Amino acid sequence: MGNSIITKEEIMTVYPKAAAAMADALGCDAEKVKLDSSLIDDLGAESIDFLDIVFRLERAFKVKIPRGRIVEEARGDLSEAEFSKGGVVTDAGVERLRAYLSEVPAERFPAPLKVADIPRLFTSETFCKMVIRQQRAAAAAGGTQPV
Amino acid sequence: MSEHFRAFSFVDRIHSIQPGARIRGSYTIPPSLPDFPPSLVAEAVGQLAAWAAMAAVDFQCRPVAGIAAEIHLLSPVRPGQLLELAADLESVDNEAVSYDGTAHADGVPVIRLQHCVGPMLPLETFDDPQKLRDRFALLQAAGATPGAFGGLPPLPLLIHSSDAIGQTLRATLHVPPSAPFFGDHFPRRPAFPGALLMKSNLELAASLAEHLPQPATGGKWVPQAASDMKLRSFTLPGETLEMKASLSRISSNEAIINVETRKGAQLAGSVRVLLSAEEKP
């Protein structure tokens, strides 16, 4: 699926419905869910909330969102050993993550970055892009993905 | 006698299963019980779904209670009734199971669960995988002998006097340090069942509802559904839970009460309870 360009226009098309789903999952007003809000650091999301958000997005957009795929897709053709060592993301891995999570400001990437802390980087826009990628995949497959 | 598969197990038989897709089963409510609360009916449906989920991943993982978008409390059940249980899995993998489910008694729908999600965790931390495989085989074959569940121990909710009568109500639940259900939920990792937390949440919401303006029908406020239920952490034997019920909205025939449960400062769970006006008898 790669990381072909996702336009701001595409993001803003899905953002209102995605923000509503995230707000419902987090029990907050939709206005609090800004595009650049970190789900964990700004909105207090926990692991159960990530599951809730993904399933709500699947229902809202009628797509299937493979869980745990962000790191795998960001890694691309890097092997797991090239991407991280001892639970810490390598320089090459960080470079791949920065490119894939282009919506995340560079200053939010801590050095060193632990693999376990990668979800702290995710913003609302990250999930919008997740939805768009799956919509594109469904379109390429010739129809709506079965949920 | 071991409490395993006795003290908190609510599936007697599995009638049919399509791996990863659907499962049908049943449970006979022991006739000797004084009652069988709706939270345990919901638990029975969840347990049926759990069997399907565990089988789908070859008993490597088991689901725990996590999220229920909607639980419709359609009709009460009576001891002695046979619950016909059904669960349809939207998806299942080593990370989570999502499902919908229903229970019927004497052909009458008694509960409907929608958009439930259970995080999947390594099964061996909770139970012996081989014992679960054996139990699964038994449930599909002759079935378990009904009547093993002996009821719940008292779980008194200590309700505090409110300084905002009809608006908020607080309560404390001291989870017992030991109880039969811990031997079954779960043998290797005892945890206070989410269904019993739901039971206490519904009781607190009903208590707050007693202080609401009487509905237009002249009857009582009755819980009709629970929505956006989320469990965020395990509650261990002996822990203390603080609950707060808050009136969110009220009209002439409908009221919504939010209930939050905390362990210290940590939010352990939350649920929204919809109450509707019962007709005056």
- Which positions 53-82 of B are in contact with A (Cβ < 8 Å)? 66-67
Cβ-nearest to A48 among B67, B90, B93: B67
Per the CB < 8 A criterion, the answer to whether B56 and B23 are in contact is: no
| Residue B27 DSSP SS3 | strand
Domains B13-140 and B157-279 share a fold: yes
Fold of the B157-279 domain: Thiol Ester Dehydrase; Chain A (3.10.129)
Q: CB of A28 within 8 Å of any CB in chain B?
A: no
C-alpha closest to that of B148 among B49, B35, B28, B45:
B28
Report the gap between the CA of B93 and the closest CA in chain A (Å): 10
Would an 8 Å CB–CB cutoff place A92 in contact with chain B? Answer: no
Query: In the 8-state DSSP scheme, what is residue A104?
Result: S
In three-state secondary structure terms, B13 is strand
- The closest alpha carbon to B33, from B78, B1, B2, B3, belongs to B78
B143 — contact with chain A (CB < 8 Å)?
Answer: no
Mean pLDDT of A72-85: 91
**One-letter amino acid identity for B133?**
R
Q: Do A51 and B90 touch (CB under 8 A)?
A: no
Q: Is A46 in the B-facing interface, judged by CB distances under 8 Å?
A: yes
Residues β-bridged to residue A21:
none
B157 pairs with which residues across the strands?
A: B173
Task: Evaluate if residue B37 carries a pLDDT over 80.
Answer: yes
User: What is the predicted pLDDT for the residue at B164?
Assistant: 87
Domains of chain A: 8-140 (1.10.1200.10)
How confident is the model over A2-49, as pLDDT tens digits? 457 899 999 999 999 999 999 999 999 999 999 999 999 999 999 999
- Of B66, B90, B98, which is closest to A48 when you measure between CB atoms? B66
For chain B, which residues make up each domain, given as ranges?
13-140, 157-279
Q: What single string gives the DSSP state of each residue in B11-66?
A: --EEEEEETTTEEEEEEEPPTTSS---HHHHHHHHHHHHHHHHHHHTTTSEEE---
Closest Cβ opposite residue B270 in set A27, A51, A64: A27
For CA atoms B214, B220, B225, B231, give the dihedral sign: positive
The overall longest dimension of chain A from CA atoms, in Å, is: 42
- ipTM, 2 decimals? 0.89
Q: How near does any CA of chain B get to the CA of A132, in Å?
A: 21
- In the three-class reduction of DSSP (H, G, I as helix; E, B as strand; rest coil), residue B131 is classed as helix
Q: Are B113 and B68 in contact (CB under 8 A)?
A: yes
What is the model's pLDDT at position A146?
Answer: 47
CA dist A122 and B76 (Å) reads 44
Q: Given an 8 Å threshold on Cβ–Cβ distance, is A51 in contact with B232?
A: no
CB B80 within 8 A of CB B32: no
What is the pTM (predicted TM-score) of this model? Answer: 0.93
For domain B13-140, give the CATH number.
Answer: 3.10.129.10
Q: Does B20 touch chain A (CB under 8 A)?
A: no
Instruction: With beta carbons less than 8 A apart as the criterion, state whether B91 and B98 touch.
Output: yes
Percent of all residues in chain A with a pLDDT value above 70, rounded to a whole number: 95
The pLDDT of B4-20, averaged and rounded, is 96
> Is A51 in CB contact (< 8 Å) with chain B?
yes
pLDDT higher than 90, residue B114? yes
